[in-house]
Structures are given as C-alpha cells and as structure tokens.
Structure 1
Amino acid sequence: MNKLNFIKNGVSIRLPPGFRFHPTDEELIVQYLKKKVHSFPLPASIIPEFDICKSDPWDLPGDSEQERYFFSTKESKYPNGNRSNRATFSGYWKATGIDKRIVVSNGNQLVGMKKTLVFYRGKPPNGSKTDWIMHEYRLATSAVKPLESSKGDVTAAMENWVLCRVFLKKNKKGSKNEEVINEEKSVIVPKFFDFMAAKELRTDLKIAPVSSCSDSSGITEEFPTTHEQDDHEESSTFLPFKSKS
C-alpha cells in the first residue's frame, strides 16, 4: 500500500510520501467496488485483484503491519450451494456477528453490506482463534443498475466480486497486562524486623541488652590519675637502700 497511483483523466499520478490510504466504508463500496463491478475506471490503482483464500493472511501481498485491501471473487463451497469457501492452507475464515448495513452519508440509501470474519488455525470446528480480521464488502442489490452492461452480467459480477480489508488486530490489553507483570517482577518487597519479638526473646533468655556506651556495661574500672601515676613511677624508680659499712 506504499505506492499510491491515482488515475486522473486517464493519466496515472504518483502522490508524494506521507499520504495514506484510509477510505471509509461508503467510499470502498461506492467509489471502488461499485465501479469495479461496472468495469468503470477506479479513482486509484491501489487495490489489486487477489484470491484471498489462496494464501494465509500473513502471506498476503503487502505490508502485514498495515491494512491491506483486495478485490476478490467468491468461490462456492458446494457446486449447488450459496456458501462461500473460505478455507486456506493453515486454517479458515469464520464469520462473526451480523452483517453491517452501509448507507450513504447524505441519506438512508443502502449501498452495500459489510461482513466481519476472524481467521482460525486448523480445521473446523476445532480451530484456534487468531487476531487476524477481515472485512468483506459486497454490493447491495438496490445499488446495482444496468449501465453499459446487460443486467444479467452486472448481477453476476455483483455476486462474484467482493472487496476485502485484512488487518491484524492489536491487542492493547494483552500488552498492558504484560507490562504489569514485568513491573511486578521488578518490585522489591521490603523485610520488616519485629523488635517486640526480639525483646521477648531476650527476656526469655535473660540476656542483658548490650549498649554501645561503656557506662552501661555494668563493669567499672578505676584508672589512676596522672599525678598518682607519676608518684608511683617515682616510688618504683628511686628505692631507698642502705650503704654497706
């Protein structure tokens, strides 16, 4: 979807970088699918023709990180049935909810229908649900008017052609939960010391509390003063003696 080539007066015009293709449901029906069914020139040659069920959603052409649009034809699951075959190599597309009516913005005219499908891995009915979503647009019968083609050809084309938008749903809730889990892992739980229990333990063992001050140790020592020490040294140095006669 990066190359935006618009057709104006039969000339392909390349738009500058920065432009994105974000059409509304009404624009997809009226400006693209309806003109595709009637074989009219499209406003932009940006939607390719591709059989959706020939590839898994992650293998479809284009950037898988962005929405991708395709013109596709429906394939019947059974020869005489109206059910579409939506099986791929690795799974299948399953419709969910009810189809949404697409009406014009300036009135209540019905122009098309939108069906929402979810991709499942494996085989039905035991497939595992994925985050791949597809919106399938089809024209309403009232929106088809025979123009240059015969009524039968237009009706057949309307029944065969659909416009599909495929994208990967971003699970914001899951990423948020993952962040919360990571934050919880990084939290350091503080440890508290029970001083009351330690006090009871010392009381039971009859252990006197130890203080950093020497006065509270219970032991007193007397040290001689400086004068007393000097007198003691003098008395021990000059001892009296008797001379021999």
Structure 2
Amino acid sequence: MENNMYDNNNNNNVLPLGYRFYPTEEELVEFYLRNKLDGKRNDIQRVIPVVNIYHHNPSELPEMAGEVIKHDTEQWFFFIPIQDREARGGRPTRLTTQGYWKATGTPGFVYSSNNNRIIGGKRTMVFYKGRAPNGKKTQWKMNEYKASTHGEPSLTNNHITNLKLQHEFSLCRVYKKSKIVRAFDRRPAGSGLLLPPNQPLINNNNNNNNNNIGTSSPSREIIQPMGNYNDLSETPLWDFEDWNFI
C-alpha cells in the first residue's frame, strides 16, 4: 500500500495503514443507504458523499470520494440523488460530457443475512465513451443499489414483481474492471452485523487500532487488511435495464 495513504501528523485520518473500507452489500443498503434515506447519521457524508455522478466523467470521481476513503485506489462510493425527470416518472439521464453509462445484464437483489428477506435491488452499468450506438466500451463499471420501502414484506423469487424501492437516493460503487479478484468481490452477499445506533460511525483517535466504519463485531471489521488475490477474470453478477422488476 502507498505510504502517502496515511499521515501520522494528520489527526483527521481514521484508517490505520493497511486497512480499507470493506462493507457487505447488506451493510451498504441496510445501514448506509437506509440511514441516508431516513436523514440520520450525518457523519456518513465523510464516508459516502452525495454526488450526481452523471454530471462527471468516471476519471473525475475518485477525487470526489469521501474524505475517509478518498485514497482507495480500487473503488469509490457515492449517494446519487434522484433526477427531476425520474421524480416525474421518466427515465434518468445517464449521459456525461464524454460518454454515457449503459445498464447490462439481468436484475439482482440484496438480501438480509438474518432471514433472506429482499432489502433492495442492484444493477451494474458500464461506461462508454462517445455517443450511442457507436460508443466505445471502457473499463469503468458501476454497481447501483436501491433500498426497498419501509415495511416491505418478505418476498420470494416468485413475487419479485411486488418489490417497491425508494428512489430519493441510490448508492453506487464505482470501480474499474480488473482481472484481479478484489476484497469486495470475494465478500458474501450478506454478512456481518450492523452498527448499533449509538456507536460513532468514525473514530478520530488514530491511536485506536480498532477504528472501523459501519460494523461493531469483534470477529469481523468492516475495514479489513488488503491482500493479494488470484488472477481471475471478473464477471458482472447483477445488471438490469431499469428498476422495474417485470
């Protein structure tokens, strides 16, 4: 890991050298996105800021990442506000000044680890340079997550058309396609405990080796040491054209 990721003289840094932001899909949806939608936990902004990524090209996004994980070299997380045309029932615009994001594949879901209840939807998009239909595919990809509405009953795969999602904000993970299986790709779809309501999201004490973001389990931290992984090709797992499960 680069030595400049952590400055011992900067008291605002909260990640010890060799550690990274390492959430499960369940934590992204049920903790980060849910608290954002409910207007809770203002400190989440330091980890995942609000950025309309469609106003920017992918190469500009790493510099806009949250201050806590700004120096991650593999993936960056953002909350995307709903677009005006989407709020009026239309489809969102995914054009940037240099290209466009295109959804690919089939629908996906995020499940609770406690009871396998569907807690949200997910999709993957790929960035193309230029304009459709002649755009050039790039290595930039995005996983976008939306949370189900409050009180949504437990759903099975036979009743997925009944799933209702909240659209005020979505949460996205932006990254570049790689032949190396990274820590995020190796994680189970739903695992780990959610942070207790009264526990600080961020610990500003650099001398505390138990700094963590989002999880309070002694057996599994949401920030984990980085490591080397086998050289395997990456396959998109969750993609769909829009958020209607039809």
Q: Normalised by the size of structure 2, how large is the TM-score? A: 0.55
Letter in 2 for 1:33: L
1:141 Cα shift? 2.5
Match of 1:59 in 2: 60
- Please give the alpha-carbon distance, in whole angstroms, between the structure 1 residues aligned to 2:18 and 2:102: 35
1:158 Cα shift? 3.1
Where do 1:134-149 residues align within 5 Å? 134-142=142-150
Match of 1:108 in 2: 116
1:74 Cα shift? 2.8
Match of 1:50 in 2: 51
Match of 1:8 in 2: none
- Please give the alpha-carbon distance, in whole angstroms, between the structure 2 residues aligned to 1:64 and 1:18: 11
> Which residue of 97, 107, 127 maps to 1:99?
107
> Which residue of 44, 68, 85 maps to 2:93?
85
Match of 1:72 in 2: 80
Distance 1:80 1:16, change over 3 A: closer
Match of 2:14 in 1: 14
1:94 Cα shift? 0.4
- Please give the alpha-carbon distance, in whole angstroms, between the structure 2 residues aligned to 1:110 and 1:39: 22
8 Å CA contact retained: 2:20, 2:72: no
Match of 1:158 in 2: 166
8 Å CA contact retained: 1:91, 1:120: yes
1:77 Cα shift? 5.2
- Superposed CA offset, 1:14-52 (max 9, x none): 342222101111110011000000011167531111110
1:170 Cα shift? 1.4
Letter in 2 for 1:132: W
Q: Normalised by the size of structure 1, how large is the TM-score? A: 0.55
- Please give the alpha-carbon distance, in whole angstroms, between the structure 2 residues aligned to 1:72 and 1:132: 17
Letter in 2 for 1:54: H
Give aligned pairs, total. Answer: 153
Higher helix share: 1
- Please give the alpha-carbon distance, in whole angstroms, between the structure 1 residues aligned to 2:87 and 2:23: 35
Match of 1:123 in 2: 131
1:80 Cα shift? 4.8
| Structure 2 gap ranges (5+) | 7-11, 64-69, 154-164, 181-230, 232-246
| Structure 1 gap ranges (5+) | 4-11, 146-156, 177-245
